[in-house]
A = this chain, B = another copy of it.
Amino acid sequence: MNQRVGRSSIRLAQPVCVIAGASIVGKKEGEGPLGTLFDMVGEDDLFGCKTWEEAESNLQKDAVYMVMEKAGWKAEDVSYLFAGDLLGQCIATSFGISAYNIPLFGVYGACSTCGEALTLGAVMTAGGYAEHVVCVTSSHFASAEKEFRFPLDYGSQRPLSASWTVTGSGAFALGLNQKCRAHITGMTPGRIVDYGLKDSMNMGACMAPAAADTVARHMEDFHVTPEEYDRIITGDLGSVGQTVLIDLLREKGIDIADRHMDCGIEIFDAEAQDTHAGGSGCGCSAVTLAAYILPKLESGEWKKVLFLPTGALLSKTSFNEGKSVPGIAHAVVLESPAVK
């Protein structure tokens, strides 16, 4: 019965199956290095809608639709949705998925939300409280710029440490004892880590301490070393945050340099696409997991990865009031079904 590991990690007695993943992205993401892997690429970033927020809602709707289709489920087969986004009061979620009439748990962990949703969805499934669960998160470049920074029309200059919010949504179908693309076998939920940094244009550095904290606690709780994992994958630290993460963990005697991967670095060609530090957002780690990571686990090329989306817990209000940018990172252990 006791599935607790260490101080605050969970090892699932029975692994939860990621039965399917689905991804939809914007035009720019479609032109990036992972472009051909996504299920759907939009022709423009409005996706036929009138506002950026409505477009983001549509992304979630489409991602959930695709993942249910892949899993062979109808909406009424799904017990619960775990969903979130970056907008104030999570409106991309509220207006995106209401048509499905599925009971909803709204979750918020900034860009770490995909990890939080998978963790809670897996707990709900593993405990026998739900048969089928869908987890979905999204972000949208234009709605995020409006929410956190400046209207696009201002044409603001962006420093090199800034990241580019990914336009996209990734959804995942979870269940037990089914044909699956990956197993969720454990989790180390994140806690808020605040080094007092205040630069919202350098979110990688703001989030890296939280990622380091989660990785270190994970290694301690599970009594493992980085060699246990083919990849340790953060959500959207970008190039600046990556350096900080590797340095912070080295100070704790943990070296992940040879196996660290960051979804934000993978999704764009920083040079050619002028995205500076890399991609970011609730959608960044979600679409990379669906399109790039799951296939590698399914094939057995990777046997085990630690997937930890990273979030920066700021708002424009907290920023304007001179507050720091605390970070959080929720880690999920994903294993290949090929080696089970």
Binding site for B on A (CB under 8 A): 1-4, 7-8, 10, 51, 53-54, 76, 79-80, 84, 86-91, 94-95, 97-98, 101-110, 116, 119-120, 123-124, 126-131, 147, 188-194, 313-318, 321, 323, 326, 328
Contact = CB atoms under 8 A, between A and B. Distances in A.
Given A84-B108, A108-B90, A321-B53, A129 B3 contact: yes
A107 B117 CA distance: 10
B128 A1 contact: yes
Contacts of A130: 4
21 contacts: A2-B128, A3-B128, A4-B130, A53-B321, A80-B189, A87-B315, A87-B317, A88-B88, A89-B108, A89-B318, A90-B313, A94-B314, A98-B192, A102-B191, A103-B190, A103-B191, A105-B109, A105-B116, A106-B328, A123-B123, A127-B129
Contacts of A106: 107-109, 116, 328
A106 B124 CA distance: 16
A91 B317 contact: yes
A86 B90 CA distance: 10
Number of copies of this kind of chain in the complex: 2
Given A105-B120, A129-B127, A95 B191 contact: no
Nearest to A14: B1
Contact of A123 (B4, B94, B129): B129
Contact of A315 (B91, B110, B127): B91
A302 B10 CA distance: 36
A321 to B, nearest CB: 5
Given A104-B189, A107-B107, A108-B89, A95 B3 contact: no
A11 B326 CA distance: 37
* Residue with the highest number of chain B CB atoms closer than 10 Å, among A1, A87, A106, A107: A106
Contacts of A79: 4, 7-8
A190 B104 contact: yes
A217 to B, nearest CB: 9
Contacts of A105: 107, 109, 116, 119-120, 189
A75 to B, nearest CB: 10
Nearest to A13: B128
A196 to B, nearest CB: 11
A88 B316 contact: yes
Nearest to A2: B128
Given A53-B321, A79-B8, A192-B97, A89 B110 contact: yes
Given A94-B326, A110-B89, A321-B53, A104 B192 contact: yes
